[in-house]
Amino acid sequence: MKIVGEAELPLHEGKAPPWLYSRMKALGREIIRTIVDEFGRREFLLRMSDPYWFQSLGCVLGYDWHSSGVTTVLTAVIREVLDEEDLGIALCGGKGKKALETPDEIERKGEALSLRYHSIEELKRVSRLTAKVDNAAVQDGHTIYHHALLFTEDGEWAVIQQGMNVERKTARRYHWISYELRGFLMDPHHGVIAESREEVLNLAAEESEENRRASLDLIKEGRPKLEGLIEEMRAGPLSPYLGVRYLKMPLKIDWKAVEIANQMDPRDYEELLLIRGIGPSLLRALSLVAEVIYDAPASRRDPARYSFAFGGKDGVPFPVRPKLMDRAVEVLRSGIVQSRLSDHEKREALLRLSSGLR
């Protein structure tokens, strides 16, 4: 498993007007169908999991290039197209209430695609775990409010979800793909785009492995010992350490969740994440205790690595990759040309593609 990318976007309100949405859906249908017919279902998932291709598709369909609404509107368009077309692909979830309905929707659509019980249950686990990682294990100031899982009749999947930072009025989008499964907590980010890099608590980084193991051991030690260590760190001789770290001890800790986790005795950190009540505050507390008491530091590295799809002309953050750029443009162009849209609609879409990818 890889997280293919992450994009940071300004948070915008509103929704796509009906006249625009209907055209987005008509053109989106032709592009999606062309990709699946020409390249297959896996390739479609790979492109959905690429934040730059996803963003480019939003441009071609006529939506704001940099708005947080690209995620919610484009995902809704893709959902409706896949529901209406027999392509062997389903999309579950969405924004707010729809995200909460994801498990039931996975079961319903999984059965429609003739997936086995085990595959459906694994997709439910993937849905919960990807959301928990981005919401709690990677603490970058954004809270997940949009979650969408795509999967095929072959059992492969991709996740597109978005977090919101209300104070800064920004949104950050996270892309996952099942292809080349590597693990949920071993530095899974592959390509990340953001407006700025921050010092975050990244418990999904490979270098956080020792910190994760120590955190798990603290849960197994039980509530009394953990309470004692936290109290010592807050008021005792270790308290000066708290002022020199990015990570600060949370004021409130869900001790009931600690007790439940202790009783369940999770085998690994993934199982710990999936326990109800295990959230960002508790994970921060465990991580800080593990760092100060057991000298097991967690990563403060933001998974954001660069802010351009194909590189920059001045070589920053890396030289332009013309072959990759040409391939992305050609795929989008072929979907438009081969579609059944009118000549006028095709010309408009090609103009948007040319202007959006200059």
* Percent share of the chain, pLDDT over 90: 46
Q: Which of 246, 168, 155 is nearest to 8 (CA)?
A: 168
pLDDT digits 0-9 by tens, 138-187 = 998 889 999 999 999 999 999 998 888 888 877 788 889 998 778 899 86
Check whether 41 has a pLDDT greater than 60. Answer: yes
Quote the pLDDT of residue 204.
Answer: 93
- Are 218 and 168 contained in the same domain? no
Q: Is the peptide bond before 317 cis (omega within 30 degrees of 0)?
A: yes
Residue 230 has pLDDT above 60, yes or no: yes
Q: Per-residue pLDDT for 228 more than 70? A: yes
Q: Is the pTM of this model over 0.85?
A: no
E strand or H helix at 106: helix 102-112
Task: Say what the pLDDT of residue 197 is.
Answer: 66
- Could you tell me the pLDDT band of residue 311, with boundaries at 50, 70 and 90? very low
> What's the average model confidence in pLDDT over 337-358?
66
Domain count, the chain: 2
**pLDDT value of position 8:** 52
pLDDT in tens, 124-150: 999 999 999 999 999 988 899 999 999
User: What are the residues whose beta carbons fall under 8 Å from the beta carbon of 350, sequence distance 6 or more?
Assistant: 333, 336, 337
188/225 same-domain check: no
Among candidate residues 177, 198, 219, the one where a domain is terminated: 198
Residues 187 and 282 in one domain: no
Query: Is 342 within the bounds of a domain?
Result: no
198 or 49: which carries more pLDDT confidence? 49
CA quadruple 105, 73, 17, 14: dihedral positive or negative? positive
Q: Which residues contact 222 (CB under 8 A, 6 or more apart)?
A: 262
Segment 71-124, tens digit of pLDDT: 888 999 999 999 999 999 999 999 988 999 999 999 999 999 999 999 999 999
Cα→Cα distances 330→5, 78, 114, 264, Å: 21, 20, 34, 52
Q: Are 44 and 162 found together in one domain?
A: yes
Which of 198, 223, 239 is the last residue in one of the domains?
198
Are 188 and 235 found together in one domain?
Answer: no
pLDDT at 291 over 60: yes
pLDDT at 232: 82
Residue pair 278/261 in contact (Cβ under 8 Å)? The answer is yes
Q: What is the pLDDT of residue 318?
A: 47
Same domain for 224 and 123 = no
pLDDT digits (tens, 9 = 90+) for 231-244: 888 775 555 555 44
Lowest mean pLDDT among 49-63, 106-120, 248-262, 279-293: 49-63
Residue 105: predicted pLDDT: 98
Using CB atoms within 10 A of its CB, is residue 326 exposed (0-12), middle (13-18) or buried (19+)?
A: exposed
Do 37 and 112 fall into the same domain?
A: yes
Could you tell me if 70 and 187 lie in one domain? yes
Domain that holds residue 19: 2-198
Note whether residue 51 is domain-resident. yes
Where is the domain boundary, 165, 198, 231? Answer: 198
123 shares its domain with 221: no
pLDDT of 1 reads: 45
Let me know the angle formed at the C-alpha of 15 by 12 and 19, rounded to the nearest 5 degrees: 140
